[in-house]
Structure 1
Amino acid sequence: MLVVRAETRKDRVMAKIEKDRAENSRQMRSGEGSFIAAGCHLQGDFTFSGPLTVAGSLKGRIKSDGMVIVETQGMIDGILDAAIIIVHGKLNGSALATDSMEIWAGSDVRGNVHTRSIRVDEGSLLTADLTISEVLPEQRLDLSQEASSTEEQTPVPPAVPQRSSSPLPGSNLARRLAAMNENQ
């Protein structure tokens, strides 16, 4: 018996993410990655090559072509642009994860999030405008403009749809009610 499995786009994306994770892990073990230690507080615009682990705090614009891991005691406040973002601690601001984002239990993410794939664990806090899309902007987002334009916007309350007191014509409920009325 011959079994053929067609590879889907999702399978290819997940395989790429796993490959990137393995490469990032290899880089961290070999000392190629960057580490912001607990108790270290940095502010400014930063560009990292390869994986970045944050156990301290970063404030500003952070860009990495690899994986960014925010440890349990770590915090990022500002604009984060990376391939893979994994949050165990706090992330406040705007984030673009071009491959995937993971929000683990006990973490706190607030702001704007754009990603292709997201995992949110039970026990985490996600308070964000969330965009999940296979098609992300061709160019990396200029999240500073987005963050400032969001602050200037006035929130519009959601419209409450008017509900009819009778079921939709042709629905299962309408047919059941009609049958009950005929039997009475």
Structure 2
Amino acid sequence: MADTLIGPNITIDGEISGDAPITIEGTVKGRIAVDALVTVAENGVVEADVETPQIAVSGQVTGNIVATERVEIAAVGKMVGDIKAPRILIADGAGFKGHIDMDVE
């Protein structure tokens, strides 16, 4: 399945859902519920709550993330919001403000 690309000059205000990987280079506001990898590119801006198995953040995310597998914030990434996921990687140099819940059962 090919990635869905939200280009750098695109702004989406609403809800994105589906089961294909998505790469965000533009701006998304609202809610993202995707059953595949979500990638926020370096110039991508997300102002939304995100539900996904995996997310990789190199851009900016403002909102809460619930991931069933993994959250990764790259050194150039910035995130403001809460994270709930079993595996979380925050690279040296990344910006993060919020709470982390690594619910261990």
Give the TM-score of the pair, scaled to structure 2: 0.95
CA offset at residue 129 of structure 1? 1.2
Specify which of 95, 105, 128 is matched with residue 75 of structure 2: 105
Query: What SS is found at the alignment partner of 1:73?
Result: coil
1:82 aligns with 2:52: yes
1:56 aligns with 2:12: no
Q: Deviations over 1:111-143 (max 9, x none)?
A: 1111110111011001011111244xxxxxxxx
Greater relative contact order, per chain length (Cα 8 Å cut-off, separation 6+)? 2
1:36 and 1:56 in contact (8 A); partners too? yes
User: Between Structure 1 and Structure 2, how many residues are aligned?
Assistant: 105
Task: Give the superposed CA RMSD.
Answer: 1.0
CA offset at residue 33 of structure 1? 2.2
Distance (whole Å) between structure 2 residues aligned to residue 62 and residue 113 of structure 1: 14
- Structure 2: gaps spanning 5 or more residues: none
1:34 and 1:48 in contact (8 A); partners too? no
List structure 1 runs of 4+ shifted beyond 6 angstroms. Answer: none
Which amino acid is the alignment partner of residue 72 of structure 1?
E
1:36 aligns with 2:43: no
- Structure 1: gaps spanning 5 or more residues: 1-26, 136-184
Which amino acid is the alignment partner of residue 83 of structure 1?
P
CA offset at residue 39 of structure 1? 1.2
Report the structure, 1 or 2, having the larger strand content.
2
Report the structure, 1 or 2, having the larger helix content.
1
Which amino acid is the alignment partner of residue 11 of structure 2?
H
1:127 aligns with 2:97: yes
Query: What SS is found at the alignment partner of 1:133?
Result: coil
1:40 and 1:56 in contact (8 A); partners too? yes
Identity %: 24
Larger radius of gyration: 1
CA offset at residue 55 of structure 1? 0.4
Q: Deviations over 1:81-137 (max 9, x none)?
A: 0000100000101111110010000110001111110111011001011111244xx
1:115 aligns with 2:80: no
Distance (whole Å) between structure 2 residues aligned to residue 70 and residue 134 of structure 1: 26
1:94 aligns with 2:58: no
